[in-house]
Structure 1
Amino acid sequence: MTAGAIAGFVGLVPSSTSTGVTSLAQQTRWAGAWTTAAQRATGAAGLSLDPTYFEPNWSEKGFADQTVRQVVRVTAGGTQVRIQLSNQYGGRPLHIASATIARSSAGAAVQSQSMRVLRFDGARTVTIPRGGRASSDAVPLRVRAGEHLTVSMYLSGPTGPATFHYYALATSYRSSGDHASDRQATAFTARSHSWYYLVGVDVRGAGVMSQTVVAFGDSITDGAFSTVDLDNRYPDVLADLLGRGRHAVAVVNEGIFGNRLLNDSRCFGNSALSRFHRDVLDRPEVGTLIVLEGINDIWMSDANGFSCLEPNPTVSAEQMIAAYRALIDGAHRRGIRVIGATLLPYGGFASYSHRGEAVRQVLNSWIRDTHTFDAVIDFDAVVRDPAHPDRMLPTFDSGDHLHPNDRGYEVMAEAAFSVLSRGPQR
């Protein structure tokens, strides 16, 4: 199927016409090229209880007279870029004393000639109120889909606990003092695998796709247990597959490790229902939404002894179906196509139960058979073991029997690409 046909299904229209002429309105339209979902600060007290899943991060202590340098991979190209910053969970105003963006080099180094100073309403500094967000001004920088960009921010005063994204699966760097404009990596001696304050990179310019695919979900969308710094999450691989045609299709990741449909968690973010407006409906130019949420609602109902899971009431299939319907209805009111994804098998996982498996089967049947979603990606079918349908094939299993490995994420992306390639199914 041609890239244009795929773009037609996912609600995307290339900025350039067949004649190569691009209107001014099309050139000034922003598209999301990279995102992550914001979470409240959670550190050693909450997350280090299980080192299999969690490691220390900088969010609880925050920053003071330090530069944080973060590397992200964009899934759309353009000629101008801007960044999105969030202080949603901050306890005080957040002051950014200086910020830059550049093409990434090795580690914390950047490509020297690509360094751009970021401004906010013309100023080199910005103070983001508690609970607020800020967009930088546009800067000229030609970027390609699949390219890595490095964003550096100097935080001169004490920030207090930081709004962040825990499970980045990418290396971030920290230095003492102001090194936001450094081209070299020398000053950046501390490392973390989380992102801080940075929640979006947008692009615009001739040839930019006018709309974006949002992958919305939990740790499986977040890419848990994929290889750090290799961008093997299923949305990354899907973006690569969609980008093989003439026009790249932007795919952005709004997954949160441990996230649930119905209940908030101090460690695993606001529920899908409560963050849906922020992470999907408020995104620029969303055309298609892929929903993969619910397995944590199921198994966490059977887990105890970990405060991050609370509250963890027993959740029924009917309650979860009502939540799916709410997401679908909200997206449809905005003209967004919604693709439902079946829940992956979790047999052998520490909190597996026969009750939970029965709920999963009911949900997957509803997702497949009711045609409530605009289309369905049957992730369950492509990763399960035919001899043991409640389990993942060992070839695709990361080892905990809940999360796929790199190859598992690849076959998920291939399944998603296949659905997009078939066109509308309703």
Structure 2
Amino acid sequence: MKTTSTLRRAGIALLAATTLTALPTTGATAAPVRGGDTGWHGAWAASPQAATAPFAPNWSTAGFDDQTVRQTVRVTTGGTRARIELTNRYGNTPLRITGATVARTAEAGAVRPGSVRALTFGGRGSVTIPAGGTLLSDGVPFRTGALESVTVTLYLAGPTGPATFHHFAGATSYRAAGDHRADVAGTAFTETDSSWYYLSGVEVSGGPHSARRDGIVTFGDSITDGVGATPNADNRYPDELAERLAAAGSPRAVLNHGIGGNQVTNDVTWAGEKGIARFKQDVLTEQGVGTVILLEGINDIGGSGPAFPGGPTPEVSVERLIEGHRTLIRQAHARGIKVIGATLTPIKGSFYFTPENEAKREAFNTWVRTSGAYDEVVDFDRAVADPADPDRILPAYDSGDHLHPGDAGYRAMAEALDLDEL
């Protein structure tokens, strides 16, 4: 459920939309383009991260060489045209995309017959993305509906080096040796992983929301990213929110910019740049966004302890965490984006729980509820807490680690949001 951008920071390239019909063999080098980008709306997004493998091996550290990567995402709003965003934000060398396609999703790495559309970049079938750069493909006629899954396939003919990726996808990605970007069957895709690579957004145009600024970004850490939800089931709280909106007859873009382990105030080697830094690139560049939901801070509180993966990060006071949120609010308001602040969910029984951390969590939540700093507040803490022990997640909502909700907990969080406030 993610999207892309119009004018990103220096070094990011946006390419004008054109129609595609075939896979040209000539290449293009990404170059900045400004203007002529109206009518597009984010439909899916994922926040990029530098290559890392903190818990188990993945494909990011070695990258790719003469391989095809197939990735499936679910868009949250529909249209008649589509384009993708690819990023080399954390690459050290230029990234060559030899070719790319978009198609309707089938099962186990397959796509639906007759649905494969080749993507172009400035009218050409291949493109080079500079180190640190991000670009958009040209637009292609491709009708999508809200909550429909689409599959993006990238062919990488040469060695890429370490790959910019999104670590926790909660979805299966597929890899094949050689060029299989146009395959309908999934038989060549014999390797699987649970991250997204280079793909950071899908945008649509021609739908009912193309001219509106009513998209929603959910910004945060693993609880926004969906850790604890059933894989490949789209049960993260932003997914559940998108489903509520669609069921109410008003489907809207809900773009998930959570990163597992992320902090508001500290960079984390395996969990991305601090929130106050990445917010500009991940949120403020999104097309058609009018609201952001801020749920982040539990890793700032718990990260200074020995249980934090990769080792402790600098201790963060409640005052510093509050100032971090005020920074995010100022950044959003400067772009006319409404901010909904969320309380931090319970941690009792988890590896983060100490009396000191709980006192910080409660003090921060009191500030969220009473400060008036946000435009609106959603009380996720109370939505998932056990009434018999409010410092603990209700067992029916607990994924099992007493920190991350499971499917039912994420559904309860989505239901706690007032759709009128959005």
TM-score over 0.5 (shorter chain): yes
CA contact (8 A) 2:166 2:195 kept: yes
Please give the root-mean-square deviation of Cα atoms over the aligned residues, in Å: 1.6
Task: Give distance in 1, aligned partners of 2:296 and 2:308.
Answer: 23
CA distance in 2, matches of 1:330, 1:57: 34
1:261 aligns with 2:264: yes
Q: Give distance in 1, aligned partners of 2:272 and 2:38.
A: 33
Superposed CA deviations along residues 233-289 of structure 1, whole A, max 9, x for unmatched, are 000010010112333111010000000010011101111111010011111121000
- In the alignment, the residues of structure 1 paired with residue 314 and residue 368 of structure 2 have an alpha-carbon distance, to the nearest angstrom, of 23
* Residue 376 (structure 1) aligns with: 377
Partner residue in 1 for 2:157: 156
Query: Helix, strand or coil for the counterpart of 2:321?
Result: helix
Shift of 1:348: 0.7
| 1:39 corresponds to 2:42 | no
Please list, as runs of the form range in 1=range in 2, the aligned pairs for 1:266-345 lying within 5 A after superposition. 266-303=269-306, 306=309, 308-310=310-312, 312-345=313-346
Cα deviation, 1:101-156, whole Å, max 9, x if unaligned, reads 00101121111211100000000000000010110000000000100000000000
What pairs with 1:114-193 in structure 2 (closer than 5 Å)? 114-193=115-194
Aligned-partner SS, 2:283: helix
Structure 2 length-normalised TM: 0.89
AA of the residue aligned to 1:327: L
3-state secondary structure, aligned to 2:302: helix
Q: Contact 1:27–1:205 (CA<8 Å) still a contact in 2?
A: no
TM-score (structure 1 length as normaliser): 0.88
* In 2: Cα distance, 1:119 partner to 1:305 partner: 43
Tell whether the 8 Å contact from 1:259 to 1:296 is kept in structure 2 after alignment.
Answer: yes
Distance in 2 of aligned mates of 1:123 and 1:287: 33
| Aligned twin of 2:409 | 408
Q: Distance in 2 between matches of 1:112 and 1:155?
A: 23
CA distance in 2, matches of 1:27, 1:323: 32
* Cα offset, 1:352, TM superposition: 1.1
SS of 1:243's equivalent?
helix
Mapped partners of 2:372, 2:350: distance in 1: 30
Q: Give, in angstroms, the shift of residue 187 of structure 1.
A: 0.5
1:406/1:318 CA distance change after superposition, 3 Å = same
Q: Percent identity?
A: 52
> What SS does the aligned partner of 1:162 have?
coil
Provide the rounded CA distance (Å) in 2 between the counterparts of 1:147 and 1:309.
39
Relative to 1, partners in 2 of residues 1:305 and 1:270: Cα closer, same or farther, differing over 3 Å?
Answer: closer
Question: Does the alignment pair 1:231 with 2:234?
Answer: yes
Give 1:26 deviation, angstroms. 12
Aligned pairs for 1:191-270 (under 5 A) are 191-209=192-210, 210-211=212-213, 212-270=215-273
* Rounded Cα–Cα distance in structure 2 between residues aligned with 1:404 and 1:245: 24
In 2, Cα distance between equivalents of 1:304 and 1:111: 45
The residue number in structure 2 matching 1:22 is none
Query: Alpha-carbon deviations, 1:56-106, whole Å to 9, x = none?
Result: 210001000000000000000000000000001111110000100001011
Q: Deviations over 1:3-56 (max 9, x none)?
A: xxxxxxxxxxxxxxxxxxxxxx9995111100000000002xxx13xxxxxx32
2:78–2:207 Cα contact (<8 Å) kept:
no
Task: Provide the secondary structure at the position in 2 that maps to 1:260.
Answer: coil
Once residues 308 and 148 of structure 2 are traced to their aligned partners in structure 1, the CA distance between those partners, rounded to angstroms, is 42
Asked if 2 retains the 8 angstrom alpha-carbon contact of 1:345 and 1:389, the reply is yes
Measured at CA, do residues 208 and 305 of structure 1 come closer, stay the same or move farther in structure 2, by a change above 3 Å? closer
Letter in 2 for 1:225: G
Contact persistence 1:96–1:155 (CA under 8 A): yes
- Structure 1's unaligned 5+ residue stretches are 1-24, 49-54
Task: Write the letter of the residue equivalent to 2:182.
Answer: S
2: CA distance, partners of 1:309 / 1:292:
23
Check whether the contact 1:261–1:294 (CA below 8 A) recurs between aligned residues.
Answer: yes
3-state SS of the aligned residue for 1:112?
Answer: coil
SS at 2:128's partner residue? strand
Deviation at 1:173, TM superposition (A): 0.1
5+ long unaligned stretches in structure 2: 1-34
Q: Name 2:419's counterpart in structure 1.
A: 420
